[in-house]
Structure 1
């Protein structure tokens, strides 16, 4: 897919001569004599003092300052390009601007900031630079954006580098990054390179910028240092070695924790790979399933390395249950270092199927281990795995790790399984002879912690004179939560729910429900 389309821009050919041509400014003033000359790179540009004063606060202050430029009628502009200044002068005269190259555009932006132009000029320039951005020049554009405090352009280039799986080998100007740009890029771009390669790139920057040694420790705190060997440490410059040793002593070697809101970070572009239970090709499009190849809980399970440490609070797990009967049991542990583990999801006691939307308290995560158990003669498999830091509001019970939904989880039929409870229809003697139970069983895709159920039964000719609603997690132990008419809401102590059973008491075994509406939990309007 075209990266420009992903970024929402239209590609342009920056080699086109679509900027201010020589003589354009002359054409603007052809109908009236100029009274001031502006000199840029030994090129003389005629201009009008009144227009400059009226439309630019910088020139207004200059001409009213009494300085020699105000009386000599000759102004020399230094440290900028002729093309950059022509863009600025055209904007002063016409309110319109076009750009010819990346370098001259940045020259024009520096002048525009000094001349206190309206935001419109900056927006036009930034739009041009976004369209001109490529894999080869994005690092340069990013650095200039940092130097000029162009936040929108900085965010754009950061997103661009994350989309293209940027690595430091592509950045010819990495050593020339400003200190602020270096800190920004290593804390916001998840480079798709080995940890040690990023470390050596940063060390290369430090060798070129020894005057910044006071910042070396803070810089390296955002770089993973765990893979550095003793031999590599002995080859480091003394000021870099001092910073590395200090961080090792402080146990600050895990690097930066990235936080990409609402983006799936379990992806190849961030360096994600499967260590056990499958192959890394699982993260490619149209990949086969990854499984732990066992019917029982195993010691290894499915182990995933996300490639970086990310702040996460949500997983999406699509269980590979193509048939409509199979259910799985599983749990998920997470770790920053593949040594110390914490359990964030525990569905080991609850049958689950299809898409699992899982939430937990935000925490730094690099490694994810998924344990699973499948029915007899089946294999625990997952068809898709995603990891997010979601900004969606959610509530989770810390003891059970189950989500407490705020909306009904039965609104979408894809989330539940239906099964009609039909025959044999034994007499239900609590209500006397010749009455029958006819019901409907629903299985939620995953367990939830729920405290209410609301239902409404649409009947045709036959009417049940009583309805019973029961809940369960295992189809063995049932809790009755409702006993009454054909619609109503019932509230009960908050508890795990996987199955909901609605039973109608009819006079004839051939009677049926027409339609059943169920909200779980009940929605308060």
Structure 2
């Protein structure tokens, strides 16, 4: 007979109250499971394998190792010799690092803040060896956060060894920005040959070349490489042509590590190759403006110099907020900027004075020493306005000269703001001009509507293709006089455009389009004066420089005004995309559109090559007899009813009759 006390029974029944059970009946005790598995770490209980690491015997469990790592799964259950062993020695493995990794295997946790950096790097190597990808990523991110002069060389070496490309790139960028400190630090002497060569061969590893040479010599001594092929391979990465003649003769030559012929070649190269990126080193600050006072940059030439590099691109008017120079025929002078140090750059953003509709022409040159100048941008034959976004091949630069050649209002060139930087943005350049992928006929890109009537001046360029009606949302001009004139912010190489004609009813338009780079020499690129067009228009022509676009209407079937809702260039949908989307550019004559729908059909089914919206067709009694729907064929932007079709059907196979 077993007797129970009522009080104990109550305690037993209440013992597990409070454990989590969701409203839908799901039970989640993963925490308990994790704790139970974690308790097996370094315990002989149920152990079926012993791992010998650097003299330390560690009990483990095959099934846990295999479940957590493909490496151990193959070793312990893949038919290898170790599959039948109860004791396995892991050679060349740091026992402290392995214990931390094993704890991670059992617990899924690791406290990196409590570990020494050398142990963390060993764990990173083990994570790479045993295939713990997520742990690799987490350690890499931690190392990125704690990068310093003290540890960056070791981390860079490890990242290269384990092919951690992101961490390698982060380390290289950090060392680029701190090159003088890196080569002066003791850890520099312990870098591998491969890591050292990869570092000093970079154009952006910017330090005095004589200091780089001395650091390589010290590295050779620290690694017992006073001479030989290994040291020579590293020395070949030093740019001796960047050393002064005095340093070549008094620092390099006495060490007898470099031949006399090599020294003479370096002296010769200093005078023969001026415009080559490989000739120089420069500081690289990704997407950061280096023409700023905080980096020691200054304006050396031009009137009212203080305004140009102050970062203020909003507060300016006719009297203040810009730097200027007089425009003359000789082209001398200009605005001259000196950067605080040599920098690798490939992108300029600058603001031309734009409080009215005036346009400027200009060119930009760069130099290292003000002796040899390279023209990187030449817009002297184009009209430009407001913000200029300029791209060119990456160059090492110390001086920038901006020379204005024309101002449509007077003889002075006005520059409000100037920025120069290096960017990874991919831009296609042909003949010195950008071939844009995105629409540049926008206010953000400094485009404006010069001529045309609208309730909102730049409604044509605002990107709104939905909200327009009889009273607003379009730009227009009277037929027979005037036109719609758009100016882009700067010259681009253009080969396509797209525009939306006002289409709230069935009216049609005729028109033509001209382009120019200076507003007086015009070329016709599109002629639809004999066609009857409506809605979306897709325009293509031979690629050419474009600044101005003039759209001139010649006919409107409803009244004497030409209306355009939207304009873009280049077209943000090309012919290939139209084909992929089963669309066709639309231009159709509606003059003979049938007024009635007398039933009639082809003798044979015809696969549709158009789509005509979703329109009900009614018979003489005004009852719907058909509905034109989307079919399995190329689609047309717009609405087509050819004049010889008076009845259209879609059968159950989606064939258009």
TM-score w.r.t. the length of structure 2 is 0.57
Corresponding residue of 1:138: 152
Within the alignment, does 1:251 sit opposite 2:269 as a pair?
A: yes
Q: After TM superposition, give the deviation of residue 238 of structure 1 in Å.
A: 1.8
In 1, the alpha carbon distance for the partners of 2:381 and 2:388 equals 15
- CA distance in 1 between partners of 2:508 and 2:380 (Å): 38
Matched length: 471
Match of 2:522 among 478, 492, 495: 478
Give the match for residue 122 of structure 2: 107
Structure number with greater CO (CA < 8 Å, separation at least 6) is: 1
**Alignment partner, residue 194 of structure 2:** 180
C-alpha distance in structure 2 between counterparts of 1:136 and 1:371, whole Å: 46
- The structure-2 alpha-carbon separation of the partners of 1:127 and 1:345, relative to structure 1 and needing over 3 Å to count, comes to closer
What does 1:275-290 correspond to in 2, within 5 Å?
276-277=300-301
Question: Which of 444, 449, 464 lines up with 1:418 in the alignment?
Answer: 449
- How has the CA–CA distance of structure 1 residues 304 and 196 changed in structure 2, closer, same or farther, with 3 Å as cutoff? farther
Q: CA deviation at 1:301?
A: 4.5
Structure 1 pair 414/59, CA: closer, same or farther in 2 (3 Å)?
Answer: closer
C-alpha distance in 2 between matches for 1:336 and 1:511:
60
Deviation at 1:389, TM superposition (A): 5.8
The whole-number CA distance in structure 2 between the counterparts of 1:435 and 1:281 is: 46
Give the CA RMSD over aligned residues: 5.0
1:88 counterpart (101, 106, 114): 101
Please state how far the C-alpha of 1:199 moved relative to its aligned partner: 4.5
Q: Tell me what 2:290 maps to.
A: 267
1:234 is matched with: 250
User: What is the aligned partner in structure 1 of residue 179 from structure 2?
Assistant: 167
On the 8 A contact 1:420/1:440 being kept in 2, the answer is yes
- Unaligned runs of 5+ residues in structure 2 are 1-37, 316-320, 454-477, 579-657
CA shift for structure 1 position 169? 1.7
Find the residue that maps to 2:389 and give its secondary structure. strand
Q: Distance in 1 between matches of 2:425 and 2:401?
A: 24
Shift of 1:232: 6.2
CA–CA separation in structure 2 for the residues paired with 1:51 and 1:460: 71
**Deviations 1:209-254 (Å, cap 9, x if unpaired)?**
4516434465454546424241564134524443861651672897
| Post-superposition offset of 1:29 | 0.9
Q: Contact 1:350–1:447 (CA<8 Å) still a contact in 2?
A: yes
User: How far apart, in 1, do the equivalents of 2:545 and 2:493 lie?
Assistant: 4
Q: Which residue of the other structure, out of 409, 415, 419, is the alignment partner of 1:385?
A: 419
**After the TM superposition, which of the residue ranges 511-520 and 139-148 deviates more from structure 2?**
511-520
In 2, are the aligned partners of 1:233 and 1:241 still within 8 Å (CA)? no
Conserved 8 A contact 2:42-2:60: no
Query: Residue 28 and residue 517 in structure 1: after superposition, are their counterparts in 2 closer, same or farther (change >3 A)?
Result: same
Question: Which residue is equivalent to 1:126?
Answer: 140
Aligned counterpart for 2:375 among listed residues 318, 328, 343: 343
**Runs of at least 5 residues in structure 1 that lack an aligned partner in the other structure:** 1-23, 423-433
Aligned counterpart, 2:550: 501
Is the contact between residue 210 and residue 243 of structure 2 (CA under 8 Å) also seen in structure 1? Answer: yes
Residues 95, 280 of structure 1: CA spacing in aligned structure 2 closer, same or farther, 3 A cutoff? farther
Distance change in 2, residues 1:348/1:189 (3 Å): closer
Q: Are 1:161 and 1:189, in contact at CA under 8 Å, matched by a contact in 2?
A: no
Using the alignment, how far apart are the partners of 1:79 and 1:464 within structure 2?
80
Distance 1:229 1:339 in 2: 19
Alpha-carbon distance between aligned partners in 2 of 1:152 and 1:494, rounded to the nearest angstrom: 39
Find the residue that maps to 1:108 and give its secondary structure. Answer: helix
Q: CA deviation at 1:323?
A: 0.8
Aligned counterparts of 1:74 and 1:489: Cα–Cα separation in 2? 71
1:18-417 paired onto structure 2 within 5 Å: 28-29=42-43, 31-32=45-46, 38=52, 40=54, 45-48=57-60, 56=72, 80=94, 82-91=95-104, 93=106, 97-99=110-112, 100-101=114-115, 102-111=117-126, 116-162=130-176, 165-169=177-181, 171-188=185-202, 190-191=204-205, 193-209=207-223, 211=225, 213=227, 214=229, 215-216=231-232, 218-223=234-239, 225-230=241-246, 233-236=249-252, 238-242=255-259, 245=263, 248=266, 251=269, 255=278, 263-264=286-287, 267=290, 273=297, 276-277=300-301, 291=323, 293-296=325-328, 297-299=331-333, 301-303=335-337, 307=341, 310=344, 315-334=347-366, 339-360=371-392, 362=393, 364-366=395-397, 368-373=400-405, 375=407, 376=410, 378-381=412-415, 383-388=417-422, 390=424, 392=426, 394-396=428-430, 398=431, 401-405=432-436, 408-411=439-442, 414-417=445-448
